[in-house]
Amino acid sequence: MNKNWCRILITSAALASTGLAQVHLVRGDVDSVQNTRTFVLKCTNVQLVSTTVNLQAMHDQARQNNIFWEMQVKDVSANGRKILDVLTAVSKPKILDMGNIRLGRSDRWAIASTPGSAFAIYMASATQTDFLPVGALGSWILGFNFFLFHQGIVPATGLFQFSFQPPNIPALVGHTFASQALIVNKNSTALLSNAECKEVRSK
């Protein structure tokens, strides 16, 4: 699953699911904006609003547990700002668990999925993230300036784990990277994982 294959799949699905009135599937988390009463889709600047679910409670619950939210949303963007109205939300165990990114340190990453599934993890600068609904796959948040980070096959345990140590480049400290996985099951059905992001830290 190289970058070009992923780009074609996502673009094709996005073209098939255009339209502001549609309800879209998003796998991710709710993040609060400091010193405000607003919320965003974690790892993006996409604002979240809702009259049917408690966004603050969702944010607090995800921070305390290893979960993400599978949300049904409607695009209510206005005045040049991307805004999603969260209609429903169901908690799910994390598919992608992004390890910390610390210079000089190796940290564990993990993919949880059906045994035998093929996966590819992609990364992008958090400044390049966006919201692109792609139908039944979910929603893509990495924009189009992404790169292939890791790929593999989920073992019989249902959990693929690997370690990553970033290059010792001090200029990376303070920069935030976002990641998301594309997973193709043995029956050829595909989905996009929850999005994750981490800031590069020093030792």
Edge-to-edge strand ranges of the sheet holding 107-112: 96-97, 107-112, 159-164
Chain segment 27-57, per-residue pLDDT in tens: 999 999 887 889 999 999 899 999 999 999 9
Give 203's pLDDT tier (boundaries 50, 70, 90).
Answer: confident
How buried is residue 61: exposed, middle or buried, by Cβ count under 10 Å (0-12/13-18/19+)? middle
- Residue, of 110 and 202, whose pLDDT is higher: 110
Give 115's pLDDT tier (boundaries 50, 70, 90).
Answer: very high
Question: Looking at residue 112, what is its pLDDT?
Answer: 96
Instruction: Retrieve residue 170's tokens.
Output: 């001090």
Instruction: Retrieve residue 145's tokens.
Output: 């300036």
Taking alpha carbons only, the member of 23, 30, 5, 44 closest to residue 140 is: 44
- In this chain, the answer to whether the domains covering 3-14+94-201 and 20-93 adopt an identical fold is no
Q: What is the second-level CATH architecture of the domain 3-14+94-201?
A: Single Sheet (2.20)
Instruction: Retrieve residue 45's tokens.
Output: 């600047």
DSSP H helical ranges for 16-151: 55-64
Cβ atoms of residues 73 and 24 within 8 Å: yes
Give 119's pLDDT tier (boundaries 50, 70, 90).
Answer: very high
Which class in CATH covers the domain with range 20-93?
A: mainly beta
Q: Is this structure's pTM higher than 0.75?
A: yes
Residue found by looking up tokens 């290059």 in the block: 167
Chain segment 75-106, per-residue pLDDT in tens: 999 888 899 999 999 999 999 999 899 998 99
Chain segment 140-195, per-residue pLDDT in tens: 999 888 999 999 999 999 999 999 999 888 999 999 999 999 999 988 889 999 99
Q: 68: which residues sit within 8 A by CB, 6+ positions away?
A: 27, 28, 29, 62, 91, 92, 94, 95, 194
Question: Looking at residue 48, what is its pLDDT?
Answer: 97
Question: Looking at residue 14, what is its pLDDT?
Answer: 53
Question: Looking at residue 66, what is its pLDDT?
Answer: 85
Query: Over pLDDT 70: what percentage of the chain?
Result: 90
Q: What is the CA radius of gyration of the chain?
A: 17
CA–CA gap between residue 119 and residue 97 (Å, rounded): 13
Give 3's pLDDT tier (boundaries 50, 70, 90).
Answer: low
Q: Each residue of 186-197: b (16+ CB within 10 Å) or e? A: eeeebbbbbbbb
Q: Is the pLDDT of residue 125 over 70?
A: yes
Question: Looking at residue 6, what is its pLDDT?
Answer: 61
Average pLDDT over residues 110-137: 93
Chain segment 10-24, per-residue pLDDT in tens: 665 555 555 545 899
Instruction: Retrieve residue 39's tokens.
Output: 């919320």
Residue found by looking up tokens 């980070």 in the block: 149
Domain boundaries, the chain: 3-14+94-201, 20-93
